[in-house]
């Protein structure tokens, strides 16, 4: 659930500057950043017009690359919160664009806790997958981009994967697809289920053609190389070698209007304090 990091007396939270800090890992791909991270930020800004929307990335490597290569300055969450303090913000909602409550999300919550006495109201919103209802929404949202599948066709979605306990979110997501009898198979680059697990299931279910797509906010390095690259070990190459016809869908979840809506809803919950 969203995490209120301090308590606000009812009726006292209207005064003062209000801001929403949208936090993501970030990406150095300008084209995908525009249609994912920036698109979500714009949707949040439009929905919550009385809040000023700020950006932060958690990847120091991407922040450094953007600064050196493009002259683009992006704050870390701590830098952004310090800046918001200096600018006189009194209410701050930190809304992550993370898919699940993994290590990065935990780190963000911990970092934000240090500011609980800095702002009159401070809350951290949910990632995409956070509780039973969220999986239903996530599955329905994904099916809008999967589209109609004929017999023998399936969608294969590539998640990042993590050694954090939150990796179980991928299994929970798969269970939801299975419950709905949808031919969607979830795999990860760096954890379980791996591509070989997915391939075994595809063969068992007599799938001949797969629509391959990233289950990530942006279609960045993992999507463009590990998933859709021409290297021997890319998912596209391996699936083709295994006899599947492969169609590539190279768009991050941030481009999906329904996933953008999920982030807006999560922000709304963090603002309203429905979880308190």
Examine the pLDDT at 6 and tell me if it is beyond 80: no
Q: Using pLDDT thresholds of 50, 70 and 90, give the confidence band for residue 4.
A: low
The answer on 179 and 157 residing in a single domain is: yes
**Inside any domain, residue 3:** no
Q: Do 138 and 248 lie in a common domain?
A: yes
Tell me the average pLDDT across 182-189.
98
Check pLDDT > 70 for residue 72. Answer: yes
Task: Please name which of 218, 214, 212, 103 lies closest in space to residue 167, comparing C-alpha atoms.
Answer: 103
- Dist. CA 241–CA 226, nearest whole Å: 15
Tell whether 60 and 102 lie within a shared domain.
Answer: yes
Catalytic residues: 160
Q: Is the pLDDT at 147 greater than 50, yes or no? A: yes
* Residue 163 known to bind ligand: no
pLDDT score for 2: 65
- 137 and 249 share one domain: yes
pLDDT at 71 over 70: yes
With respect to residue 5, please indicate whether it lies within any of the assigned structural domains. Answer: no
Over residues 16-45, mean pLDDT: 97
Please write the tens of the pLDDT for every residue from 215-247. 999 999 999 999 999 999 999 999 999 999 999
Asked if residue 104 and residue 36 are part of one domain, the reply reads: yes
136 and 243 housed in the same domain: yes
- How confident is the model over 31-36, as a mean pLDDT? 96
- The CA distance from 13 to 196, in Å, is 52
Cα 32 from Cα 38, distance rounded (Å): 9
Asked if residue 11 has pLDDT above 50, the reply is no
- Tally of structural domains, the chain: 2
Do 115 and 145 belong together in one domain? Answer: no
- Looking at the predicted structure, is the pLDDT value of residue 3 above 80? no
User: 22 by DSSP, 3-state: which?
Assistant: strand
Q: Is the pLDDT of residue 259 over 90?
A: yes
| Report field, pTM of the whole predicted structure over 0.85 | yes
DSSP percent split of the chain into helix, strand, coil, nearest 5: 45, 20, 35
pLDDT at 119: 98
Establish if 70 belongs to a structural domain.
Answer: yes
Residue 178 covered by a domain: yes
Same domain, 113 and 143: no
Residue 138 predicted with pLDDT over 90 = yes
The confidence band for 121, taking pLDDT boundaries of 50, 70 and 90, is very high
Q: What is the DSSP string of 149-161?
A: --TTEEEEEEE--
User: Are 104 and 148 part of one and the same domain?
Assistant: no
> Domain range holding 228?
132-253
Give the mean pLDDT of 156-175. 97
What are residue 222's phi and psi, to 5 degrees?
Answer: -60, -45
Question: In the prediction, which pLDDT does 273 show?
Answer: 81
Asked whether residue 106 is domain-assigned, the answer is yes
Choose among 273, 274, 276, 271: nearest CA to 48. 271
Structure tokens at 10: 């009812």
Task: Say if residue 261 is in the same domain as residue 249.
Answer: no
Mean pLDDT, residues 10-35 taken together: 84
pLDDT for 16 equals: 87
Average pLDDT, the chain: 94
Quick one: 191 and 81 in the same domain?
A: no
Range 177-189 average pLDDT: 98
3 state DSSP class of 91: strand
CA–CA separation, 183 vs 244, rounded Å? 15
Show the tokens assigned to 99. 């898919």
pLDDT at 167 over 90: yes
Q: 98: annotated binding-site residue?
A: no
Residue 8 lies in a domain: no
Confidence of residue 12 (pLDDT cuts 50, 70, 90): very low
Residue 192 annotated as binding?
no
136 and 114 in one domain? no
Q: Say if 6 falls within a structural domain.
A: no
| CA-closest candidate to residue 136, choices 90, 71, 180, 88 | 180
Q: Other C-beta atoms within 10 Å of 226: how many?
A: 19
In a domain, 2, yes or no: no
88-112 per-position pLDDT tens digit: 999 999 999 999 999 999 999 999 9
The answer to whether the peptide bond before residue 193 is cis (omega within 30 degrees of 0) is yes
CATH assignment at residue 162:
3.40.50.1400
């Amino acid at each position: 659930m969203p995490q209120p990091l301090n308590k606000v007396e009812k009726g006292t939270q209207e005064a003062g500057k209000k801001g929403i800090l949208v936090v993501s890992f970030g990406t150095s791909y300008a084209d995908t950043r525009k249609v994912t991270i920036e698109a979500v930020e714009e949707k949040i800004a439009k929905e919550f017009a009385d809040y000023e929307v700020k950006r932060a990335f958690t990847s120091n490597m991407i922040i450094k690359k953007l600064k050196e290569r493009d002259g683009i300055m992006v704050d870390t969450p701590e830098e952004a919160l310090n800046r918001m303090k200096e600018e006189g913000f009194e209410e701050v909602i930190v809304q992550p664009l993370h898919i699940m409550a993994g290590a990065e999300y935990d780190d963000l919550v911990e970092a934000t806790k240090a500011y609980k006495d800095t702002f009159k109201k401070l809350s951290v919103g949910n990632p995409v997958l956070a509780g039973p209802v969220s999986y239903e929404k996530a599955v329905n949202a994904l099916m809008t981009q999967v589209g109609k599948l004929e017999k023998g066709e399936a969608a294969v979605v590539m998640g990042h994967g993590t050694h954090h306990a939150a990796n179980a979110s991928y299994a929970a997501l798969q269970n939801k697809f299975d419950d709905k009898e949808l031919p969607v198979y979830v795999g990860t680059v760096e954890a379980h289920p791996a591509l070989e697990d997915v391939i075994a299931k595809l063969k068992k279910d007599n799938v001949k053609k797969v629509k391959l797509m990233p289950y990530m906010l942006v279609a960045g390095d993992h999507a463009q190389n590990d998933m859709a690259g021409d290297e021997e070990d890319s998912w596209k190459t391996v699936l083709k070698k295994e006899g599947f016809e492969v169609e590539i869908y190279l768009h991050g979840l941030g481009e999906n209007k329904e996933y953008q809506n999920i982030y807006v809803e999560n922000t709304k919950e963090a603002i309203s304090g429905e979880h308190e």
